């Protein structure tokens, strides 16, 4: 049961209602006019609490864009719009024979759908309908995981890679700065393009800069000139990263899929193998002798040491000793929590590339607050768990349903990016539900 005496809950549902088009919810009213992959997952968690039929519709729409190699695209272009770059004309994914008959971009995004489906199963008020829906969708989600292990794991380490910052979900993170800076761009051969994201409020200081966009575009051009052949792309791509958030969410979803398959009496032996291998590899390679998880740059054969909140995320599934968790949480609280307010910045505030307002370079995002909340909860850190819930709720109440928020101490105008952002509204609904469950 939801709390019903909170006007912000009604406002949150209204944000979702007004961003909903035919059978899917766009992330924001103007900036993002299509269906985004991981946004659909976070948005559906809220629908799971008050209108399950919308979860089914969201997922049917999303998976209508799944490619025959299993890849679940980052963006599904259901409807025409000239409000966003790059749209279908730029992606040219019809160069691949693997596309579905719904237009999409040619890369993927973090695999959140396993744990979102477990969330649905846990919250459902109609077990018959939900079980029927899960029997239909789970095989497709498993195919999207198989894609990661088959095509994105070049050294067969069970650590699937991203090939574009947009695949990480945390596009502009300082984690990728060095790898991107090493890509040589020849302006004469770079396709011409016009950004459409710069016309909004504070866009110049909140959105990625043009140097990053040149690299984003360069990579898309590389993919389309290889006709989206994954083997050629992995061989030729100058940006191949083992990203701790991307891999952590895949394995968190693997874990959830095992539980769902057990419930539905479905075979999960392959998922079990992925789960164990990925946990072991995250621990041995990405944790190693550190006190947090690093990313690994495959092209330049070097670790990118932990500087973002993603460096904690593999603790969603990787078993750690008491000493290891103490060191990880201790350094995290020192670096991130004491130097900022409210919780939780996505980049360590004392890092030289921290930017308080810019896209994924420091600000708070409520979907990551939810995932951090799960990490702290799993490890019994009650103080941080409470803080993440209350800070997230207060951020929305004080500023509105913005896309992200400045985390630096003592700021006034902390709202960043798009207003009426769908997953901010959804996470508000989810956090309120958690609060009710915890009291
Ligand atoms: C954007 O356009 O900024 C999106 O994050 C890409 O997924």
Cα 320 to middle of ligand 1, angstroms: 33
Mean of per-residue pLDDT scores for the chain: 95
- Mutating to test ligand 1, I would choose from 30, 32, 87 the residue with most ligand atoms within 8 A of its C-beta, which is 32
Confidence of residue 186 (pLDDT cuts 50, 70, 90): very high
Q: Atom of ligand 1 at shortest distance to CA of 36? A: 7
- Mutating to test ligand 1, I would choose from 166, 219, 403, 404 the residue with most ligand atoms within 8 A of its C-beta, which is 166
What tokens does 299 get? 């092209």
Q: Is the pLDDT of residue 3 over 50?
A: no
User: By alpha-carbon position, which residue is closest to atom 6 of ligand 1?
Assistant: 166
Cα 166 to middle of ligand 1, angstroms: 6
Per-residue pLDDT tens for 267-326? 999 999 999 999 999 999 999 999 999 999 999 999 998 789 999 999 999 999 999 999
Range with the lowest mean pLDDT among 208-212, 261-265, 424-428? 208-212
User: By alpha-carbon position, which residue is closest to atom 3 of ligand 1?
Assistant: 171
Confidence of residue 200 (pLDDT cuts 50, 70, 90): confident
Q: Is the pLDDT of residue 328 over 50?
A: yes
Confidence of residue 89 (pLDDT cuts 50, 70, 90): very high
Per-residue pLDDT tens for 59-86? 999 999 999 999 999 999 998 899 999 9
Q: Which pLDDT does position 409 carry in this prediction?
A: 79
pLDDT, mean of residues 200-229: 94
Range with the lowest mean pLDDT among 1-10, 104-113, 235-244? 1-10
pLDDT, mean of residues 207-229: 97
Confidence of residue 438 (pLDDT cuts 50, 70, 90): low
pLDDT, mean of residues 188-208: 92
Confidence of residue 116 (pLDDT cuts 50, 70, 90): very high
Q: Is the pLDDT of residue 1 over 80?
A: no
Q: Mind telling me the catalytic residues?
A: 171, 403
């Amino acid at each position: 049961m939801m709390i019903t005496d909170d006007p912000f809950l009604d406002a949150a549902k209204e944000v979702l209602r007004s961003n909903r088009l035919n059978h899917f919810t766009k992330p924001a009213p103007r900036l993002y006019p299509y269906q985004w992959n991981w946004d659909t997952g976070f948005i559906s968690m809220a629908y799971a609490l008050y209108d399950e039929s919308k979860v089914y519709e969201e997922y049917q729409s999303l998976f209508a864009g799944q490619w025959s190699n299993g890849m679940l695209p980052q963006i599904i272009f259901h409807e025409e719009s000239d409000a966003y770059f790059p749209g279908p004309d730029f992606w040219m994914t019809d160069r691949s024979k693997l596309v579905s008959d719904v237009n999409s971009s040619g890369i993927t995004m973090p695999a959140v759908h396993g744990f979102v489906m477990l969330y649905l199963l846990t919250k459902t008020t109609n077990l018959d309908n939900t079980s029927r829906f899960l029997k239909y969708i789970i095989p497709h989600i498993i195919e999207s995981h198989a894609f990661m292990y088959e095509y994105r794991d070049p050294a067969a380490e069970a650590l699937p890679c991203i090939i574009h910052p947009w695949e990480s979900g945390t596009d502009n993170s300082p984690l990728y700065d060095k790898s991107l800076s090493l890509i040589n761009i020849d302006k004469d051969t770079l396709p011409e393009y016009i950004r459409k994201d710069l016309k909004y409020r504070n866009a110049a200081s909140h959105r990625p800069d043009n140097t990053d966009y040149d690299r984003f575009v360069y990579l898309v051009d590389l993919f389309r000139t290889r006709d989206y052949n994954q083997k050629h792309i992995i061989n030729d791509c100058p940006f191949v990263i083992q990203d701790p958030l991307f891999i952590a969410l895949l394995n968190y979803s693997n874990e959830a899929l095992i539980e769902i398959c057990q419930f539905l009496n479905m075979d999960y032996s392959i998922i079990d193998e992925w789960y164990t291998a990925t946990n072991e590899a995250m621990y041995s390679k990405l944790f190693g002798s550190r006190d947090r998880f690093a990313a690994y740059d495959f092209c330049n054969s070097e670790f990118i040491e932990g500087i973002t909140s993603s460096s904690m995320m593999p603790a969603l599934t990787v078993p750690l000793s008491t000493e290891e968790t103490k060191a990880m949480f201790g350094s995290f609280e020192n670096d991130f929590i004491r130097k900022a307010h409210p919780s939780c910045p996505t980049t360590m505030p004392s890092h030289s590339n921290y930017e308080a307002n810019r896209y994924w370079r420091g600000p708070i995002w409520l979907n990551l607050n939810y995932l951090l909340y799960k990490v702290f909860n799993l490890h019994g850190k009650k103080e941080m768990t409470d803080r993440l819930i209350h800070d997230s709720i207060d951020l929305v109440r004080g500023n509105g349903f913005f896309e992200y928020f400045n985390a630096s101490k003592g700021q006034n105008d902390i709202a960043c990016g798009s207003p009426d952002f769908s997953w901010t509204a959804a996470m508000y609904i989810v956090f309120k539900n958690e609060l009710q469950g915890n009291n």
